[in-house]
């Protein structure tokens, strides 16, 4: 069933005044997969080869957003916008991602959705991959990444981590599962001290008992523990569960090995789905599922380097479905992500909408749900998913290239992928590709036909619209929407 966002509002919300009267603010659980493609979810891609019954359960009992986008095609900036409601290019990070020892990206003056919900009576937990930087306790020395491991005092207090950005409690890892240090963090201290070196793609310090294969189940169990704990307290809770999977290293547990019949990647996707199922089972067992909003999505698209070891496409499974590109790219495969949500008390089962939305919209959606307006310094790029108000959506590639989609038109300001897919920007420019790409996403969702030359008026309109978005915000650095220096020598 297709429906406009306005009809979705009627389906989903019975009225904020009623909610306030019966004190029925929902618990909110936001589950973020890492590098899961749109086509990895069976409910969104029936031709897909991987079973995802638990994510499908959310889709079937709630709402499916078929045109949802992350603000970036890579993880750190995407996570920044989910939590702050700000486009990531307003921060100091203009391209790339952070590492496990990076400084905090979210400044204290930019409140997170967790801080907003906390000040409105929610208990707030973060479990999983942070990847937004923190201040490790340091010994004297240089600040290079290579030297950071030698400088960190792992027995010291970690400053400016999740518990200073709105979360009452944190348990997880500092960055991706293939980025050291390989150690758990609870609140503002490590769990143990790293005394050995281990390698999962990257070599680095690790706590002796830390194993990558154990991380997804450990975080899942911790999330379920926190749900049980918070359900016993007065008032609603918010859980941000940032899964480390199916990002590399591809390390499915033994009980999932061979389960998908589609390489270890398929097995790891199935274990990711199992994690979602554990959360749903916990809610059901506690009797609190009815008034709990569960959102499942991914930070960006499928990682193409997985295909070098686990070529699922050769076996007939396409994580990017018919979209062009993958993680890192400005093309749809980089940022067109799965997004499903259920809230049995308010969302009509089987709802589907093709209205364009951004993961940046999570903060304003929460504000709409609890009927409390955002303050002036909160969520400047966030629009409620419950209303038909978002005029356009902007996404960013790993190289920092921009695209903007408004109605059927998508404009990308670079000659190539802006990421890792061929041709990359330098090669595309040298081969004479146009520096501007324009696609009709209704007739050309695969972005095969660049029609920029035929529609200069649309190019001008969207370029001006993009620039107007950039200048209206409070940017921490100067923002260049063209970045021609990247590919013009």
For CA atoms 6, 9, 10, 12, the dihedral sign is positive
pLDDT in the model for residue 472? 92
Is the Cβ–Cβ distance between 381 and 389 less than 8 Å? no
Q: How many CB atoms lie within 10 A of CB 456?
A: 11
- Nearest Cα to 299, choosing from 358, 382, 355, 249? 358
Q: Mark whether 440 and 478 lie in a shared domain.
A: yes
CA distance 370 to 373: 9
pLDDT in the model for residue 4? 34
Q: Mark whether 324 and 252 lie in a shared domain.
A: yes
The answer to whether position 341 is within a domain reads yes
CA distance 272 to 44: 16
Q: Mark whether 87 and 163 lie in a shared domain.
A: yes
Q: Calculate the alpha carbon distances from 351 to 4, 74, 366, 456, 470 in Å.
A: 10, 29, 19, 37, 33
Last residue of a domain, one of 356, 387, 418: 387
The answer to whether position 35 is within a domain reads yes
Q: Mark whether 110 and 140 lie in a shared domain.
A: yes
Last residue of a domain, one of 338, 364, 387: 387
CA distance 253 to 220: 13
Q: Mark whether 370 and 458 lie in a shared domain.
A: no
pLDDT in the model for residue 151? 93
Q: Mark whether 67 and 101 lie in a shared domain.
A: yes
Q: Mark whether 349 and 321 lie in a shared domain.
A: yes
Tokens found for residue 17: 């005044």
Question: What angle (nearest 5°) sits at the alpha carbon of residue 14, between those of residues 11 and 17?
Answer: 155
User: Given the structure tokens 């957003």, which residue do they identify?
Assistant: 65
The pTM (predicted TM-score) of the whole model is 0.95
3 CB contacts (<8 Å, ≥6 apart)?
11, 351, 352, 353
The answer to whether position 224 is within a domain reads yes
Domain that holds residue 45: 26-387
Digitized pLDDT (tens) for each residue of the chain, 489 residues in all: 333 333 333 333 333 322 332 358 999 999 999 999 999 999 999 999 999 999 999 999 999 999 999 999 999 999 999 999 999 999 999 999 999 999 999 999 999 999 999 999 999 999 999 999 999 999 988 777 678 888 999 999 999 999 999 999 999 999 999 999 999 999 999 999 999 999 999 999 999 999 999 999 999 999 999 999 999 999 999 999 999 999 999 999 999 999 999 999 999 999 999 999 999 999 999 999 999 999 999 999 999 999 999 999 999 999 999 999 999 999 999 999 999 999 999 999 999 999 999 999 999 999 999 999 999 889 999 999 999 788 899 999 999 999 999 999 999 999 999 999 999 999 999 999 999 999 999 999 999 999 999 999 999 999 999 999 999 999 999 999 999 999 997
Q: Mark whether 347 and 424 lie in a shared domain.
A: no
pLDDT in the model for residue 90? 98
Domain with residue 408: its CATH number is 3.30.1120.10
The answer to whether position 21 is within a domain reads no
Q: Mark whether 381 and 408 lie in a shared domain.
A: no
pLDDT in the model for residue 360? 98
Question: What angle (nearest 5°) sits at the alpha carbon of residue 481, between those of residues 475 and 484?
Answer: 135
Q: Mark whether 117 and 67 lie in a shared domain.
A: yes
The answer to whether position 10 is within a domain reads no
The answer to whether position 17 is within a domain reads no
Is the Cβ–Cβ distance between 363 and 75 less than 8 Å? no
Q: Calculate the alpha carbon distances from 481 to 34, 399, 400 in Å.
A: 27, 11, 8
Total structural domains within the chain: 2
The answer to whether position 1 is within a domain reads no
Q: What is the largest CA-CA distance in the chain?
A: 63
The answer to whether position 392 is within a domain reads no
Q: Mark whether 93 and 237 lie in a shared domain.
A: yes
pLDDT in the model for residue 389? 83
- What secondary structure, in 3-state letters, does 123-190 show? EEEEEEECCCCCECCECCCCCCHHHHHHHECCCCCCECCHHHCCCCEEEEECCCCCCCCECCEECCEE
CA distance 107 to 166: 12
Q: Mark whether 362 and 469 lie in a shared domain.
A: no
Last residue of a domain, one of 334, 357, 387: 387
pLDDT in the model for residue 414? 98
Domain with residue 252: its CATH number is 3.40.720.10
């Amino acid at each position: 069933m297709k429906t406009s966002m306005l009809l979705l509002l009627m389906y989903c919300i019975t009225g904020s005044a009623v909610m306030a009267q019966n004190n029925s603010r929902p618990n909110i659980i936001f589950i973020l997969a890492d590098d899961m493609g749109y086509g990895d979810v069976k409910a969104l891609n029936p031709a897909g080869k991987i079973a995802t019954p638990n994510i499908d359960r959310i889709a079937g009992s709630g709402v499916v957003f078929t045109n949802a986008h992350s603000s970036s095609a890579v993880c750190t900036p995407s996570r920044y916008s989910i939590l702050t409601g700000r486009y990531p290019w307003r921060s100091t990070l203009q391209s790339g991602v952070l590492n496990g020892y990076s400084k905090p990206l979210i400044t204290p003056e930019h409140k997170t959705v967790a801080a907003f919900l906390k000040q409105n009576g929610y208990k707030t937990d973060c479990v999983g991959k942070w990847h937004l930087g923190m201040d490790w306790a340091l010994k004297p020395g240089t600040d290079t990444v290579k030297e950071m491991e030698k400088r960190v005092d792992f027995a010291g207090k970690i400053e400016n981590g999740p518990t200073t950005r709105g979360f009452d409690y944190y348990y997880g890892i500092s960055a991706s599962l293939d980025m050291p240090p390989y150690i758990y963090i609870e609140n503002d201290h490590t769990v143990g001290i790293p005394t050995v070196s281990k390698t999962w793609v990257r070599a680095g310090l690790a706590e002796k008992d830390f194993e990558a294969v154990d991380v997804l189940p450990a975080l899942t169990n911790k999330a379920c523990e926190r749900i049980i704990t918070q359900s016993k307290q007065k008032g609603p809770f918010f859980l941000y569960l940032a899964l480390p999977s199916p990002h590399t290293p591809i390390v499915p547990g033994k009980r999932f090995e061979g389960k998908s019949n589609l390489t270890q990647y398929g097995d790891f996707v199935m274990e990711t789905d199992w994690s979602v199922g554990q959360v749903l089972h916990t809610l059901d067992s506690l009797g609190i599922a009815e008034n709990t909003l569960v959102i499942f999505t991914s930070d960006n698209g499928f990682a193409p380097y997985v295909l070098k070891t686990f070529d699922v496409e050769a076996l007939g499974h396409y994580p990017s479905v018919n979209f062009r590109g993958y993680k890192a790219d400005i093309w749809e495969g980089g940022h067109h992500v799965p997004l499903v949500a259920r809230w049995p008390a308010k969302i009509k089962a089987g709802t589907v909408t093709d209205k364009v939305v951004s993961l940046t919209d999570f903060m304003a959606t929460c504000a709409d749900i609890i009927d409390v307006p955002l303050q002036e310094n909160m969520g400047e790029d966030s629009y409620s998913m419950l209303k038909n108000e978002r005029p356009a959506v902007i996404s960013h590639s790993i190289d920092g290239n921009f695209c903007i989609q408004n109605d059927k038109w998508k404009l990308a300001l670079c000659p190539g992928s802006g990421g890792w897919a061929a041709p990359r920007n330098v090669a595309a420019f040298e081969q004479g590709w146009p520096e501007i790409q324009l696609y009709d996403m209704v007739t050309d969702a695969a972005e095969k036909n660049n029609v920029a030359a035929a529609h200069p008026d649309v190019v001008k309109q969207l370029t001006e619209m993009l620039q107007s978005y950039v200048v209206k915000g409070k940017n921490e650095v100067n923002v260049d929407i063209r970045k021609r220096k990247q590919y013009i020598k």
